[in-house]
Amino acid sequence: MKTMNEYIETVNKKLDEYMEINYPEDIFKAMRYTVMLPGKRLRPVMCMESCRIFGGSISDAIPTACAIEMLHSQTLIHDDLPCMDNDDFRRGQPTNHKVFGEANAVLAGDALLSFAPQIIFKHSSSLGAEKILKVLNEYFQAAGAYGVIAGQVVDIESEKGNVQGDKAKTLEYIHIHKTADLFNLALRSGAIIAGASENQLVMISDFGRKLGFAFQIADDILDETSTFEEMGKTLGKDKAAGKLTYTSLYGLEKAKQDLNDLIDDCLELLKQNNLKSEIFEQILNKIRKAG
Amino acid sequence: MKTMNEYIETVNKKLDEYMEINYPEDIFKAMRYTVMLPGKRLRPVMCMESCRIFGGSISDAIPTACAIEMLHSQTLIHDDLPCMDNDDFRRGQPTNHKVFGEANAVLAGDALLSFAPQIIFKHSSSLGAEKILKVLNEYFQAAGAYGVIAGQVVDIESEKGNVQGDKAKTLEYIHIHKTADLFNLALRSGAIIAGASENQLVMISDFGRKLGFAFQIADDILDETSTFEEMGKTLGKDKAAGKLTYTSLYGLEKAKQDLNDLIDDCLELLKQNNLKSEIFEQILNKIRKAG
């Protein structure tokens, strides 16, 4: 068993190794820049911990855990572009295109989308071809048009007021795909590496969906109530833009209540399935506090 | 054995099937738009023909052939973006961002990068996990920072005048990565699917590098000597921008001579290795004529 800090150190050390600068330096520097920004490493930690609670060896999950952080970085680089959310700061630092220019930021994101699964391929041979393919398929599904990109597209459309129908359903769709899909990639691939059963995969996906939804509600709450110094990115933009958020739709009080309920559900799921995890409890309580 | 037209029909039919419109429609429409623009389908044809000449079944190579066309489309979508080459036309039609907006064009390209390998994964199960993984690794290598993206980055840097050292070597680097890497992905993965030996892979890579280089020289010649109507894209931009091209570096005459020599080398390689392919001969002669 590892502590949160030990997990984060493991991830940072491996990412530093994987993200070495090769030729052409411009592209590797741009890729490395966003991946190595200090972050909570939530997704890789979740991947390794999921592997552990289902009886796998943490070290088997490290390449996949790091690849998921690279994929997450890719989404940040492209989401921050001027033609998307046009953000200047991320994790307290200038965004990728601010440092490397737009062309290199687009290409660095593109490169990470192939670099990440290649890391899984290159460094997980001990898992065997069948298991690697299963993990890669989870990666393609979460990274693509059925995953995070679906969430981002509907988010953009909803900002333009182009989404018809039920606002609550649209928001749930955005949250599930923009956030829960990467959480579930982390949790499910960790479980697959550990050799979890189909039932266990269903359970951990349910957990991941609820956790992702809670995380996004907490993020919406923080966007309204926090400061740049606390968050390292420009805040209050959502509200100013009249964007569809959980707090704008339901108000701050109900948002906090729903967040609490989702966290309780997650803790209950772990308990029901006899899965003991201090790490997941820490993550859940941190998200609860944020709200 | 199939004729060129039969190959192209096979690819178009399968692409039409793979690129069905799902929710969110915006993203699938944008992905489909560029993939389905009428094209020569050179890369998928090369993939299937490579599989055939090494004794494989053409049908086994179809999903991979189509995935490579999707990857090629991805590079076109992102290369045409305003922050890159800023092109308004491609294959005679408005470029992706002109039709769907910049944000969707970025996301459509991103989505294709995961959609394409997922097509290989989903529709090639008869190949077995080991072979699928080998093909996927070729895909990641060609799509990423060691492949087409390396070529595009150095191309952008050279346009800015930021590349030091030997101009001829820089140009060769750009051509090999921007063009030959995808040709080699097509040829090598076709050969891998057929179960080609390591020696055969070395030979077909040599062939692909020469073919790719010849193709790019022909493209540089056409950029100077052709018209929009013939090519379906804006021409003469390279010369106007003072860009490093084969013709600007060596002049039109030497460019034509070198193109001829490379085509002869390719034909010779096929002959030496007892590989009979009317399709490759047609492709080679067509490239030779373009120059």
| pLDDT score of A159 | 82
Asked if B113 lies within 8 A of A114 by C-beta distance, the reply is yes
**CATH for B169:** 1.10.600.10
**What is the pLDDT confidence band of residue B1, given thresholds at 50, 70 and 90?**
confident
Contacts of B137 in chain A (CB under 8 A): 118, 121
Give me the helices (H) in B25-166, please.
25-35, 42-53, 58-79, 96-100, 102-123, 129-143, 148-159
B8 membership: H or E segment, kind and range: helix B4-18
DSSP secondary structure letters along B33-65: HHHTS----HHHHHHHHHHHHTT--HHHHHHHH
- Residue B84 distance to chain A (closest CA, Å): 5
By residue count, chain B amounts to 291
In which residue are the tokens 């979740």 written?
Answer: A46
- Nearest CB among A83, A117, A140 relative to B102 is that of A83
- Nearest CB among B27, B153, B157 relative to A149 is that of B27
- Nearest CB among A103, A115, A118 relative to B83 is that of A103
Residue A131: count other Cβ atoms within 10 Å of its Cβ.
Answer: 18
Q: Is B21 left (phi over 0), alpha (psi -120 to 50) or beta?
A: beta
Contacts of A137 in chain B (CB under 8 A): 118, 121
Residue B89: count other Cβ atoms within 10 Å of its Cβ.
Answer: 15
- Taking only the tens place, the pLDDT of each residue in B51-98 is 999 999 999 999 999 999 999 999 999 999 999 999 999 988 999 999
| pLDDT score of B225 | 84
Residue A229: count other Cβ atoms within 10 Å of its Cβ.
Answer: 8
Rounded Cα distance, B175 and B182, in Å: 11
Q: Angle B98-B102-B105 (CA atoms, 0-180°, nearest 5)?
A: 85
| pLDDT score of B231 | 61
- Residue A5 distance to chain B (closest CA, Å): 31
| pLDDT score of B159 | 82
Rounded Cα distance, A148 and A178, in Å: 5
Of A230, A186, A227, A224, the residue nearest A205 (C-alpha): A186
Residue A276: count other Cβ atoms within 10 Å of its Cβ.
Answer: 11
- Taking only the tens place, the pLDDT of each residue in B24-53 is 999 999 999 999 999 999 999 999 999 999
| pLDDT score of A244 | 83
A94 membership: H or E segment, kind and range: strand A93-94
| pLDDT score of A165 | 79
Give the distance, in angstroms, between the CA of residue B120 and the centroid of all CA atoms in the same chain: 17
How many helices and strands in chain B, by DSSP H and E? 15, 2
Rounded Cα distance, B174 and A24, in Å: 11
Task: Locate the chain A residue with the closest alpha carbon to B112.
Answer: A144
Residue A273: count other Cβ atoms within 10 Å of its Cβ.
Answer: 14
Contacts of B74 in chain A (CB under 8 A): 110
CB of B138 closer than 8 Å to CB of B192 = yes
- The phi and psi torsions of A176 (rounded to 5 degrees) equal -60, -45
- The phi and psi torsions of B167 (rounded to 5 degrees) equal -65, -40
Q: What is the DSSP letter of B81?
A: S
Contacts of B76 in chain A (CB under 8 A): none
Q: Which domain holds residue B95?
A: 4-290
- Residue B254 distance to chain A (closest CA, Å): 29
pTM: 0.95
Question: pLDDT tens string for chain A (291 positions)?
Answer: 789 999 999 999 999 999 999 999 999 999 999 999 999 999 999 999 999 999 999 999 999 999 999 999 999 999 999 999 999 999 889 999 999 999 999 999 999 999 999 999 999 999 999 999 999 999 999 999 999 999 999 998 888 877 777 899 999 999 999 999 999 999 999 999 999 999 999 999 999 999 999 999 999 999 888 766 666 666 666 666 667 889 989 999 999 999 999 999 999 999 999 999 999 999 999 999 987
B194-199: which pairs have CB atoms within 8 A and are 24 or more residues apart?
A: B194/B50, B194/B51, B194/B52, B194/B54, B194/B55, B194/B56, B194/B60, B194/B61, B195/B54, B195/B55, B195/B56, B195/B131, B196/B54
Q: How many domains does chain A have?
A: 1
- Nearest CB among A26, A114, A149 relative to B140 is that of A114
Rounded Cα distance, A61 and A191, in Å: 9
Contacts of A133 in chain B (CB under 8 A): 121, 129, 132-133
Q: Angle A171-A172-A178 (CA atoms, 0-180°, nearest 5)?
A: 85
- Which residue of B96, B106, B169 to mutate against A (max A Cβ within 10 Å)? B106
Rounded Cα distance, A289 and B270, in Å: 68
Give me A202's structure tokens: 């269903």
- Nearest CB among B104, B121, B144 relative to A153 is that of B104
Instruction: Return the exposure string of A116-129: e unless at least 16 CB atoms fall within 10 Å of the residue's CB, then b.
Output: bbbbbbebbeebeb
Asked if A107 lies within 8 A of B27 by C-beta distance, the reply is no
Rounded Cα distance, B155 and A26, in Å: 12
Give me B145's structure tokens: 């920072």
Rounded Cα distance, A180 and A204, in Å: 12
Residues forming beta bridges with residue A90, ordered by sequence position: A93
Query: What's the farthest any 2 CA atoms get from each other in chain B?
Result: 52
CB pairs under 8 A between A and B: 145
Give me the helices (H) in chain A, please.
4-18, 25-35, 42-53, 58-79, 96-100, 102-123, 129-143, 148-159, 167-175, 181-194, 198-225, 228-231, 237-240, 246-272, 278-290
- Nearest CB among A81, A121, A149 relative to B133 is that of A121
Question: ipTM of this model?
Answer: 0.94
* Cα torsion B188, A109, B109, B136: sign: positive
- Residue B57 distance to chain A (closest CA, Å): 23
Q: What is the DSSP letter of A264?
A: H
Asked if A144 lies within 8 A of B111 by C-beta distance, the reply is yes
CB of A65 closer than 8 Å to CB of A119 = no
Strands A93-94 and A89-90: antiparallel
Q: Is the pLDDT of residue B184 over 90?
A: yes
Asked if B149 lies within 8 A of A22 by C-beta distance, the reply is no
- Taking only the tens place, the pLDDT of each residue in B114-160 is 999 999 999 999 999 999 999 999 999 999 999 999 999 999 888 88
- Taking only the tens place, the pLDDT of each residue in B245-261 is 899 899 999 999 999 99
